[in-house]
Chains A and B, each alone.
Chain A
Amino acid sequence: MEYVSPEGLRLDGRRPMEMRQLRAEIGAVAKADGSAVFEMGNTKVIAAVYGPREVQNRSQQMNDQALVRCEYSMANFSTGDRRRKPKGDRRSTEISLVIRQSMEACILTHLMPRSQIDIFVQVLQADGGTRSACINAATLALADAGIPMRDLVTSCSAGYLNTTPLLDLNYVEDSAGGPDVTVGILSKLDNVTLLQMDAKLPMDTFENVMQLAIEGCKAVANYIREVLQENTKQLEYRRGV
């Protein structure tokens, strides 16, 4: 199948290096300490952060750092064909772990010993790149909760189809069988915290695809920074500063 037309357009009309429309909103869940909605095209996720608070399970308490926990869940109606999946299947456990590890890399856990931070991400619509969208939503929610962080972790995926590197794959492109490189970076420190790829790819091509994904992450980081600044301005305005 042709994923990039001779004119250089993808199935949804994007250019190969073009991202889907981003949209983010802070404060989607009133009762949570921090929350955010993050949309990448048709992919839409909600993240809620509770904490830092007392550790629920005493045996997991750590005396030198905070315990970070994460749970990923998908709504029944999030995929095209309706499926009722049991909670805690392997895929969600793996994604929960990935998100937790990426977030742990940026949270200053040593400042909050003997406490616990819960991150819950809920997928409302899945159209490829849920992993990335979840990480971006979690970053925003953590920032909204006022949890001290080293930097913003952002994530984006890239692929390689019809000998063209493609940024931010949607579901159709993701299921095409080509490689899917998901990268998470600490945007200012320029460190990679997450790197996953399936399928095979020549070394030099991989470098290009990964570089493209990193560029995507940086674009996401810029957008997230704008959203956070706008939110802070609003808060200042409401306070009358």
Chain B
Amino acid sequence: MVGLSVGEKHFIQGGIAQDLRSDGRKRLTYRHIQVETGVIPQADGSARVKMGATDVIGSVKAELGKPNPLQPDKGKVSLYVDCSPTAAPMFEGRGGEELSTELSATLQRCLLGGKNGAGAGIDLSSLSIVEGKVCWDLYIDCLVVSSDGNLLDALGAAIKAALSNTGIPKVQVAAAVSSDGQPEVDVSDEEFLQFDTSGVPVIVTLTKVGRHYIVDATSEEESQMSSAVSVSINREGRICGLTKRGGAGLDPSIVLDMISVAKHVSEQLINKLDSEIAAAEACEEESGHG
């Protein structure tokens, strides 16, 4: 928990009101984002994202599975977040479970669309192999290693980076169907398909402190928030999911205003993230060959 004195609280609130936050940023400026890909060799794709002192790891594993009978032409994606006790002593034992569940649920809402998979940020139909028989199951596991606010945006960025780092093996489907109706598939261990992440949205969280709202709040700033709105927006500027957290009520017009601001911020964030991911991939390739 963040322990702040009355003076410190006033300082943070006053700074936000004057558009100069305690670390020198403006209200709508992100901290520097640092991306590292391929950090977990056992996974099919992984990335580590650092924003200031916030540090998260995302990993993707692909397994062959059976599609849901209700959506035979789509693959499945499951998403879990774990809060490591290294991030804060309060996550010890079962202490991190509540936050983990909240983050997982919000990310699922932001990236995976509705129950029927419509409007998902991740293209589920590209995971289908044989309709109704075989598909890819993607397991996305995230770990919060260090936490200094704005976990949701960092996790969203880590998932996007991990997915663009993911190579899904090419699959050959044998023409003849075996007796039990299950087609025989041959998974290549040399050829990989790059996962298309151009449609994967980024998450922008606007935290309302006093009368103003800020992006990328640190944990000190988060402790002063009245409410926060997380919007996931893709490259076309479409909203893929939305969550409001925090107790205080918001005027509907403010919510709409926040969404339009989030949309504006997301354009910069997507460009920044894409260039960081490209740089990380290039760096990984260089060290891999060298």
Q: Contact partner of B148 among A30, A42, A88, CB < 8 A?
A: A30
Contact assessment for B86 and A120 in the assembled complex, using a CB-CB cutoff below 8 Å: yes
Q: Return chain A residues, CB-CB under 8 Å to B40.
A: 77-78, 124-125
What class of interface size applies to chain A in its complex with B?
20 to 34
Chain A: minimal CB distance from B287 (Å): 14
Contact assessment for A122 and B85 in the assembled complex, using a CB-CB cutoff below 8 Å: yes
Chain A: minimal CB distance from B95 (Å): 10
Given contacts A30-B148, A31-B148, contact A87 B94 (CB under 8 A): yes
Contact assessment for B85 and A73 in the assembled complex, using a CB-CB cutoff below 8 Å: yes
Interface string of A72-100 (1 = CB under 8 A from B): 01011111101010011000000000000
The chain A residue sitting closest to B53, CB to CB, is A30
Given contacts A35-B86, A47-B86, contact A71 B93 (CB under 8 A): yes
Contact assessment for B93 and A87 in the assembled complex, using a CB-CB cutoff below 8 Å: yes
Is B139 interfacial (CB-CB < 8 Å)? yes
* Bound: A4/B86 CA distance, A: 38
Contact assessment for B141 and A76 in the assembled complex, using a CB-CB cutoff below 8 Å: yes
SS class, residues of chain A in contact with chain B: loop
Is B63 interfacial (CB-CB < 8 Å)? yes
Q: Contact partner of B143 among A28, A71, A75, A118, CB < 8 A?
A: A75
Q: Return chain B residues, CB-CB under 8 Å to A84.
A: 80
* Bound: A124/B40 CA distance, A: 8
Interface string of B83-103 (1 = CB under 8 A from A): 011111100111001000000
Q: Return chain B residues, CB-CB under 8 Å to A213.
A: none
Chain B: minimal CB distance from A152 (Å): 21
* Bound: A56/B90 CA distance, A: 10
Chain A: minimal CB distance from B83 (Å): 10
Interface residues of B, CB < 8 Å — how many? 32
Contact assessment for A46 and B86 in the assembled complex, using a CB-CB cutoff below 8 Å: yes
Q: Return chain A residues, CB-CB under 8 Å to B84.
A: 46, 73, 75, 120, 122
Q: Return chain B residues, CB-CB under 8 Å to A76.
A: 59, 80, 82, 139, 141, 143
Is A32 interfacial (CB-CB < 8 Å)? yes
* Bound: A118/B84 CA distance, A: 13
Q: Return chain A residues, CB-CB under 8 Å to B46.
A: 77
Tally A-B pairs: CB < 8 A: 92
The chain B residue sitting closest to A45, CB to CB, is B86
Q: Return chain A residues, CB-CB under 8 Å to B139.
A: 76, 82
Is B209 interfacial (CB-CB < 8 Å)? no
Contact assessment for B41 and A31 in the assembled complex, using a CB-CB cutoff below 8 Å: no
Contact assessment for B145 and A28 in the assembled complex, using a CB-CB cutoff below 8 Å: yes
Q: Return chain B residues, CB-CB under 8 Å to A50.
A: 89
Is A48 interfacial (CB-CB < 8 Å)? yes
Chain B: minimal CB distance from A136 (Å): 16
Q: Return chain B residues, CB-CB under 8 Å to A87.
A: 93-94, 97
Is A62 interfacial (CB-CB < 8 Å)? no
Which residues 76-131 of B have a CB within 8 angstroms of A? 80, 82, 84-89, 92-94, 97
Chain A: minimal CB distance from B145 (Å): 6
Contact assessment for A118 and B89 in the assembled complex, using a CB-CB cutoff below 8 Å: yes
Is A29 interfacial (CB-CB < 8 Å)? yes
Contact assessment for B85 and A29 in the assembled complex, using a CB-CB cutoff below 8 Å: no
Interface string of B45-65 (1 = CB under 8 A from A): 010000011010101010100
The chain B residue sitting closest to A118, CB to CB, is B89
Interface centre among B86, B145, B147 (most CB of A within 10 A): B86
* Bound: A118/B94 CA distance, A: 16
Chain B: minimal CB distance from A91 (Å): 16
Interface centre among B84, B97, B141, B147 (most CB of A within 10 A): B84
Is B43 interfacial (CB-CB < 8 Å)? yes
* Bound: A118/B46 CA distance, A: 29
Interface string of A33-55 (1 = CB under 8 A from B): 00100000010001110100000
The chain B residue sitting closest to A51, CB to CB, is B89
A-B pairs with beta carbons under 8 Å apart, 23 shown:
A29-B86, A30-B52, A32-B86, A47-B86, A48-B85, A50-B89, A56-B89, A71-B85, A76-B59, A76-B141, A76-B143, A77-B43, A77-B141, A78-B40, A78-B42, A82-B141, A88-B94, A118-B89, A120-B84, A120-B86, A122-B84, A124-B40, A124-B57
List the 4 shortest-distance A-B pairs measured between CB atoms, nearest first. Answer: A30-B53, A48-B86, A77-B59, A120-B85
Q: Which B residues lie at the A interface, using CB under 8 A?
A: 39-43, 46, 52-53, 55, 57, 59, 61, 63, 80, 82, 84-89, 92-94, 97, 139, 141, 143, 145-148
A87-B93, A122-B85, A125-B40 are known contacts; what are 15 more A-B pairs with Cβ within 8 Å? Answer: A30-B52, A30-B55, A30-B148, A31-B88, A35-B86, A46-B86, A71-B93, A73-B85, A75-B82, A79-B42, A82-B61, A120-B86, A124-B39, A124-B57, A125-B42
